[in-house]
Amino acid sequence: MGVPSNFDDEDDDGMDFPEVAGNPVMGSSLGSSNKSTKGPMDLYFNKKEHQSLKRAKGGEQVTLEACKKELRERAMVQFSRWMYEAGLPFNCVQYTKSLQGFIECVAQHGPGMKPPSYHEVRVPYLKKEVEHVKELFKSHQETCDSVDVSTNMVDAKKMLELFETFVNQVGKDKVVQVISDNASENVRAGKDLMELYPTLYWTPCAAHCINLMFKDIFEIRHFSVAYKRALKLSVYIHSKTKLLNWLRKYTRKRDLVKFAKTRFATAFLTFKRLHEQKNNLRKLFNSEEFPTSSYFKEEAGKECSRIVQMPSFWNTILEALKIGGPLISTLRLVDGDVKPSMGYIYPAMEITKKAIEKAFDNNTSKYKKVFEIIDRRWTSQLRQPLHAGAYYLNPDYFRYRSEQKVSPSIHSPEVVAGFYSCLERLVPDQDLQEKITEEVSMWEVGEGLFGLPVAKKQRGSRTPGSYFLND
């Protein structure tokens, strides 16, 4: 259908158009003769734009198809210009589903739509998107909850099928990492999964790995004996109401057992609580009430009294705390929600071991066996390229070579190789790999935004996500 060449005459606002039922754009109001009423073509052009287009076409009749082509051309120029000014990567246009939805909504709004403000995208719409993602996650969670993965029916093949199901549901191009515990069938399934999907990683659960370290440490004989004694003491006191009430007079109503998410973390925290109440426990069993009570006549009561007086028992507890304290801190880091833990896992054992060394004044005989346990678990399970890559890009640890303080391992060949291994696996597009490599070079020497004083100052105080999520 042709558009008259005099469409830009002064009376074009008064043109009458038939009502189109159900069309939000061409409604009944468009049929009004009111001078302020817009015709349908005003949704495509304002007068200035139409005059420009008419001149470009030499005054010839302009078809609707030509109008649309010209409009798309102008939209692409403006969109591309915005991309270039914002420094967005070219592959962002490949997120076609959400981009198409945005374009459709803008078209439905028509001319004059205001762009989003900094506050809008940073606060209200980000919160809406978080809620949207939570809703999407519910269906996956319900699927996970409905799958029986008890050990009596699961093997590596079934676990692989389960992993594949979830990867395909989410979309393989959206999955970076699949995490499971360290059971042998999961390890085998994880390796097979990485062969099937060359752009993702399977990694063992860091929290589970640290709990296994605790398990191995508590199997060392003197720790195992001390823990059995601690349990006997705690169970006996808590099973005797009167005795427990006596103890609470000294402990200000604090119990001897503090429960954690896992059995081994609970064991450590029980040691910690006992150590805190060492003097109060001794006061209880040395008090006038206890020797004259019926509890003192019981064999279990006498044994608990002996345990409380044992220097070796308390020395072993103190030794366990010096080892377990740093490990618990690392467990809380990788298993908590305070900040994303990926960039902290790789150096975690290095920091943990240094803290243990310091606690024992570098007396290697005190922690040699413990370090063997930590190294065995760390080497076989947590030393992953993905962890190394996240460590290398963590501003909390990264120090430029020109600075005095340099994190000891972040520039090591192993960590750098881990980063580039991740880059090659997660970004198959070689052109994009090149672009990332160029930007990493700026990161390594602290050029551009990376070298700004404010960026350096906030390295250890804010994680990247906090700039967007904390409001």
Span 110-158, pLDDT tens digits: 888 999 998 888 889 988 988 888 887 776 666 655 555 555 556 888 8
**Over the stretch 253-273, which tens digit does the pLDDT of each residue have?**
666 665 555 667 778 888 888
Q: Identify the pLDDT of residue 93.
A: 87
Q: Identify the pLDDT of residue 225.
A: 94
Model pTM score: 0.62
Q: Identify the pLDDT of residue 163.
A: 92
- Evaluate whether 385 touches 423 at the Cβ level (below 8 Å): no
Q: Identify the pLDDT of residue 50.
A: 55
Q: Identify the pLDDT of residue 154.
A: 65
Contacts by 2-5, CB closer than 8 A, 24 or more apart: 2/61, 2/62, 2/63, 3/41, 3/61, 3/62, 3/63, 3/64, 3/67, 4/61, 5/54, 5/59, 5/60, 5/61, 5/62
Q: Identify the pLDDT of residue 338.
A: 66
Residue 37's pLDDT band, with cuts at 50, 70 and 90, is: very low
Q: Identify the pLDDT of residue 148.
A: 56
Per-range mean pLDDT, top range of 47-61, 316-330, 398-412: 316-330
Q: Is the pLDDT of residue 249 over 80?
A: no
Whose CA is closest to 348, among 206, 225, 471?
Answer: 206
Q: Is the pLDDT of residue 468 over 90?
A: no
Across the range 329-348, mean pLDDT stands at 81
**Over the stretch 275-316, which tens digit does the pLDDT of each residue have?**
988 988 888 888 887 878 888 788 988 899 999 999 999 999
C-alpha to C-alpha distance for 162 and 172, rounded to whole angstroms: 14
What is the amino acid identity at position 33? Answer: S
**For 47-56, 204-213, 235-244, which range has the lowest pLDDT when averaged over its residues?**
47-56
Share of the chain above pLDDT 70, in %: 75
- Evaluate whether 365 touches 372 at the Cβ level (below 8 Å): no
Domain segments of the chain as ranges: 2-109
**For 15-19, 85-89, 155-159, which range has the lowest pLDDT when averaged over its residues?**
15-19
C-alpha to C-alpha distance for 200 and 324, rounded to whole angstroms: 33
Q: Is the pLDDT of residue 456 over 60?
A: yes
- Evaluate whether 268 touches 214 at the Cβ level (below 8 Å): yes
**For 209-218, 374-383, 407-416, which range has the lowest pLDDT when averaged over its residues?**
407-416
Q: Is the pLDDT of residue 43 over 70?
A: no
**Over the stretch 167-221, which tens digit does the pLDDT of each residue have?**
998 888 889 999 998 888 899 999 999 999 999 999 999 888 998 999 899 899 9
Q: Identify the pLDDT of residue 368.
A: 94
Within 10 A of 123 (CB to CB), how many other CB atoms are there?
14
Residue 40's pLDDT band, with cuts at 50, 70 and 90, is: very low
Mean pLDDT rounded to a whole number for the chain = 78
Q: Is the pLDDT of residue 414 over 60?
A: yes
Q: Is the pLDDT of residue 85 over 50?
A: yes
Helix axes 413-426, 430-445, angle to 10 degrees: 150
Q: Identify the pLDDT of residue 35.
A: 44
- Evaluate whether 2 touches 61 at the Cβ level (below 8 Å): yes
Q: Identify the pLDDT of residue 453.
A: 80
Whose CA is closest to 225, among 322, 339, 316, 94?
Answer: 316
Q: Is the pLDDT of residue 31 over 90?
A: no
Q: Identify the pLDDT of residue 229.
A: 93
